[in-house]
Amino acid sequence: MWKKIDEVSKLSGVSKRTLQYYDDEGILPVKRSKNNYRLYDDDTMEKLWEILW
């Protein structure tokens, strides 16, 4: 199941800007939709929790 950045931000407590930074720097690469939205799957969420831990 894919999540957009708003939902990931609310679930993780990490700001959208920080998530964008992680993606831009290659720390947490994410997939993009046809409309260029960042999409997070379960594997990406696991990596995010590892980063935050």
What is d(CA 23, CA 5) in angstroms, rounded to the nearest whole number?
Answer: 11
What is the reported pTM? 0.89
What is d(CA 51, CA 6) in angstroms, rounded to the nearest whole number?
Answer: 18
pLDDT of amino acid 38: 96
- Tell me the CATH number for domain 3-52: 1.10.1660.10
pLDDT in tens, 12-46: 999 999 999 999 999 999 999 999 999 999 999 99
